Structure 1
Amino acid sequence: MTQTHLTDTRFDSFDLDPRILQGLQDTGFTHCTPIQAEILPLALPGRDVAGQAQTGTGKTAAFLVTALQRLVTYEPHPQRRVNQPRVIIVAPTRELAVQIHRDTVVLNRHTGFRLGLVYGGTGYQEQRDVLNAGVDILVGTPGRLIDYYKQGVFDLRAVEVAVIDEADRMFDLGFIRDIRYLLRRMPPPTKRQGMLFSATLSYRVTELAYEHMNHPHPVKIQPDQVTADRVSQHCFMIANDEKIPLLVGLLRGLEQARVIVFANTKRATEAIWGYLEGHGLHAAVLSGDVPQKKRLRLLKQFQEGALPILVATDVAARGLHIPDVTHVINYDLPEDAEDYVHRIGRTARAGAAGDAVSFVCETYAFCLPDIEAFIGAKIAVRPVTPDLLAEIDPARFVRTPRRRHPQDKRRGHGHGHGGRHKSRPKAVEGEPHKAETKETEGAGVKQRRRRRRRKTGGTGDGDSTVAPRS
Structure 2
Amino acid sequence: MKKTILTETRFSNLELSDSIIKGLKEAGFIQCSPIQDRALPIALRDRDVAGQAQTGTGKTATFLLATFQRLINDESEKIKNPRALILAPTRELAIQIHKDALALSRYLNLKFALIYGGTDYQKQLDKLKTDVDIIIGTPGRIIDFYRQGAFTLDNIQVSVMDEADRMFDLGFIKDIRFLLRRMPPPEKRLNLLFSATLSYKVTELAYEHMNNPVMVKIETEEVTSKAINQFAFCPANDQKIPLLLGLLKTHQPVRSIVFVNTKRCAEQLDDYLQANGHKVAMLSGDVPQEKRQRLLNDFQENRVTLLIATDVAARGLHIPDVSHVFNYDLPQDVEDYVHRIGRTARFGASGEAISFICEEYAYSMPDIEDYIGEKVPVRAIDQELLIEDVIKPERREPRERVPAHGKRPPRGDKPERDRRPPRPHREHGQPATTAPASAPENLPQPETP
TM-score, L = length of structure 2: 0.86
**Aligned residue for 1:303?**
300
Tell me the secondary structure at the aligned position of residue 22 of structure 2.
helix
Aligned length: 411
1:205 — aligned with what? 202
Q: Which residue matches 1:51? A: 51
User: 2:55, 2:342 within 8 Å by CA — same for their partners in 1?
Assistant: yes
**Structure 2: which 5+ residue stretches go unaligned?**
416-449
Query: Aligned partners of 2:108, 2:56: CA distance in 1, in Å?
Result: 25
CA distance in 1 between partners of 2:183 and 2:292 (Å): 32
- Structure-2 change in CA distance of 1:379 and 1:256 (3 Å): closer
Secondary structure of the corresponding residue to residue 350 of structure 1: helix
Matching residue of 2:378: 381
Q: 2:96 aligns with which of 86, 94, 99?
A: 99
CA contact (8 A) 1:286 1:315 kept: no
**Cα offset, 1:388, TM superposition:** 1.6
RMSD: 2.6
8 Å CA contact 2:327, 2:354 repeated in 1: yes
Q: Is the 8 A contact 1:3 1:58 kept in 2?
A: no
Shift of 1:330: 0.5
Shift of 1:256: 4.9
Aligned runs of 1:159-174 on 2, under 5 Å?
A: 159-174=156-171
In 2, are the aligned partners of 1:11 and 1:21 still within 8 Å (CA)? yes
Moved more, 393-402 or 225-234: 393-402
Do the aligned partners of residues 224 and 28 (structure 1) sit closer, same or farther apart at CA in structure 2, a change above 3 Å counting? closer
Answering whether residue 299 of structure 2 is matched by residue 320 of structure 1, we say: no
Paired with 2:224 and 2:20, the residues of 1 have a C-alpha distance of 32
What is the match of residue 75 of structure 1? Answer: 75
Distance 1:111 1:26 in 2: 14
Deviations 1:403-426 (A, max 9, x none): 67499xxx9x9xxxxxxxxxxxx9
Residue in 1 aligned with 2:225?
228
Secondary structure in 2 matching 1:365: coil
1:90/1:164 contact within 8 Å kept: yes
- How far 1:241 moved relative to its partner? 2.1
Q: Which amino acid aligns with 2:74?
A: Y
Q: Name the residue aligned to 2:19.
A: 19
Contact kept, 8 Å, 2:264 with 2:413, in 1: the verdict is no
Report the more deviating stretch, 397-406 or 221-230.
397-406
In structure 2, the residue corresponding to 1:328 is in which secondary structure?
A: strand
Q: Tell me, what secondary structure is at the counterpart of 2:267? A: helix
Contact kept in structure 1, 2:49 and 2:192, CA below 8 Å: yes
**In terms of Rg, which structure is larger?**
1
Q: Residues 439-458 of structure 1 correspond to what in structure 2 (within 5 A)?
A: none
Partner of 1:233: helix, strand, or coil?
strand
1:50 Cα offset (Å) = 0.3
- What SS does the corresponding residue of 1:271 show, helix, strand or coil? helix
Q: Does 1:62 align with 2:87?
A: no
TM-aligned CA deviation for residue 429 of structure 1: 7.3
Compared CA separation, residues 227 and 15, structure 1 to 2 (3 A): closer
CA distance in 2, matches of 1:339, 1:226: 17
Q: Distance in 1 between matches of 2:341 and 2:403?
A: 39
Q: If the length of structure 1 is used for normalisation, what is the TM-score? A: 0.82
Query: CA 1:4–1:174 in 2, change beyond 3 Å: closer, same or farther?
Result: farther
- More off after superposition, 217-226 vs 182-191: 217-226
Q: Check the 8 A contact 1:245/1:390 in 2, yes or no.
A: yes
1:32 — aligned with what?
Answer: 32
Distance 1:22 1:226, change over 3 A: closer
Q: Secondary structure at the match of 1:177?
A: helix
- Is residue 260–residue 310 contact of structure 2 (8 Å, CA) maintained in 1? yes
CA shift in 2, pair 1:273/1:176, >3 Å: same
Determine if contact 2:344/2:352 at 8 Å carries over to the other structure: yes
Identity of aligned residues (%): 58
| 351-360 or 317-326, larger mean C-alpha shift | 317-326
Q: Which runs of 5+ in 1 are unaligned?
A: 414-425, 432-470
Distance (Å, rounded) in 2 between the aligned partners of 1:13 and 1:371: 40
* Structure 2 counterpart SS, 1:243: helix
The match for 1:86 among 83, 102, 108 is: 83
State the secondary structure of the residue aligned to 2:348. coil
Q: 1:142 aligns with which of 135, 139, 142?
A: 139
Aligned mates of 2:3, 2:180 — CA distance in 1: 30
